Amino acid sequence: MIAVSGDEEARIQWAAITGVIATVSVFAIAQGLSYPLLSFILQRQGVSPAMIGISAAMTPIGFIVSSPLIPALARRFGAGRTALTCAALSAIVLALIGWTQNVYLWFPLRFLIGAVTNPLYVLSEIWVISLAPAAKRGRIMGVYSTIISAGFAAGPLCLLAVGTEGWPPFLVGICAFVLCGICLASVLPRLPKVEEAGHQVSVLGFIPMAWLLLFAVVVAAGFEQAALALLPVYGTHYGIGDIRMSALLSVMIAGNIAMQVPLGLLAERISARAVGLACVAITVLGCLLLPLLIETPLIWPMIFVWGAVSYGIYTMSIIELGERFTGSTLIAGNAAFSLMWGVGGITMPPLAGAAMDVLGAGGLPLTLGLLCLALAAASLVGRWKLA
């Protein structure tokens, strides 16, 4: 038996973390590219905005349906084999989407791409959480969140280079999924066998174990999706043009990308739960300030911070998940996170849009603020019961 020194073991661990994060970054680019690409194609075909929206919803529905299956798939086939198979299937399904170019065939295919990419994302996140040393988990998960966000943001930029017509943009996405599989295969021997450890827990069985964390995920997802979808509509109420609102959204995404590592470092010094509660409080404050600052220069720093702390709710939840759970329970928990992200992303934009129909533009910050207030109240009650 060959002995492995502590320094060598640490190097292996960091190499594995780097490999998994590289895998997820490539995956995020492919996902970030596919959403706008398919919308552009459908728009050129004269498909109605409502139909485009329904088509786009098929992917998160695929996330929701596949999430409860991930723990069983990991146990039956192994986490590594499941993730590699999903990377290959993602490339195949994206190729089929490029080949068909039909709005009705895209409904099942977009559902499938959500279903097959979700295990890849969930298992990669579990490996990062499991490999991260406890003392440095905050900064590592901050780096992870930053790279995921940057990857999604980089996806649309790829379309500037290759355009949105013909096979070139699809080939970029297909090659990204293939590269994702190659990155994963290169570090697979170094990854922990997370599916073999501990008592087996289902996704539904996990919900009562950490309902507050799952509620936080719903809030983070709902906030992000509703803000990205409806802030341009909100701006028109104040006579703000598309270019300025697009720039504001870019600043919001920049805050998300830039601030997750500092928030992670702060979580190491204090606690993920305390930083998460602060993120919720500042997000509520942003909802109050939005109508007051939207027409002033102060909206730019405010929207930057808003983007940082609203996504920080998710980052802190992931850190706390890694602190509390391991093994197969962690797989079930992360799959439950994915399920709740899909639920929040699908339910909140229509709810906030309906509030805007009834109450005017103020319905957006009111809906988002009340959602975050509910999370803050639940968090305070939860901490009081644990005290």
Question: What CA–CA distance (Å, rounded) separates 309 from 298?
Answer: 17
**What pLDDT does 365 receive?**
94
**What pLDDT does 84 receive?**
93
**What pLDDT does 11 receive?**
64
In angstroms, what CA-CA distances link 290 with 15, 37, 178, 264?
43, 31, 42, 26
260 three-state secondary structure:
helix
Q: Is 145 exposed, middle or buried (0-12, 13-18, 19+ CB in 10 A)?
A: buried
CATH placement of domain 203-386: 1.20.1250.20
Give the tens place of pLDDT for each residue, 65-110.
999 999 889 888 888 899 999 999 999 999 999 999 888 999 999 9
Taking alpha carbons only, the member of 229, 199, 224, 204 closest to residue 214 is 204
- What dihedral do alpha carbons 309, 358, 295, 221 form, nearest 10°? 20
**What pLDDT does 386 receive?**
43
Six token digits for residue 95: 């190729």
Q: What is the pLDDT along the chain (387 residues), one digit of tens a residue?
A: 334 445 555 665 788 888 888 888 888 888 778 877 887 888 788 887 667 777 877 888 898 999 999 988 988 888 889 999 999 999 999 999 999 988 899 999 999 999 999 998 899 889 998 888 888 888 899 988 888 888 877 877 787 788 888 899 899 989 989 998 898 898 888 888 766 655 577 888 898 999 999 999 999 998 988 887 788 888 888 888 777 887 888 888 889 889 999 999 999 999 999 999 999 999 999 999 999 999 999 999 999 999 999 999 999 999 999 999 888 888 899 999 999 998 988 888 888 888 888 898 899 999 999 999 999 999 888 665 544
Question: 312, 276 in Cβ contact below 8 A?
Answer: yes
Question: 198, 328 in Cβ contact below 8 A?
Answer: yes
Question: What CA–CA distance (Å, rounded) separates 282 from 275?
Answer: 10
Which DSSP string corresponds to 236-284?
HHTT--HHHHHHHHHHHHHHHHHHHHHHHHHHHHS-HHHHHHHHHHHHH
Distance, C-alpha 365 to centroid of its chain? 22
Question: What CA–CA distance (Å, rounded) separates 257 from 279?
Answer: 15
Six token digits for residue 250: 């870019």
Give the tens place of pLDDT for each residue, 116-143.
999 988 998 899 988 888 888 888 999 8
**What pLDDT does 155 receive?**
78
Q: What are phi and psi of 359, to 5 degrees?
A: -105, -5
Question: 195, 335 in Cβ contact below 8 A?
Answer: no
- Helix (H) or strand (E) holding 304, with range, is helix 299-324
CATH fold of 6-196? Growth Hormone; Chain: A; (1.20.1250)
Q: Is 33 left (phi over 0), alpha (psi -120 to 50) or beta?
A: alpha
**What pLDDT does 265 receive?**
94
Distance, C-alpha 40 to centroid of its chain? 22
Question: 332, 306 in Cβ contact below 8 A?
Answer: no
**What pLDDT does 159 receive?**
79
Question: 142, 89 in Cβ contact below 8 A?
Answer: no
Taking alpha carbons only, the member of 172, 124, 123 closest to residue 147 is 124
* Domain limits, CATH 1.20.1250.20, in the chain: 6-196, 203-386
Question: What CA–CA distance (Å, rounded) separates 141 from 147?
Answer: 10
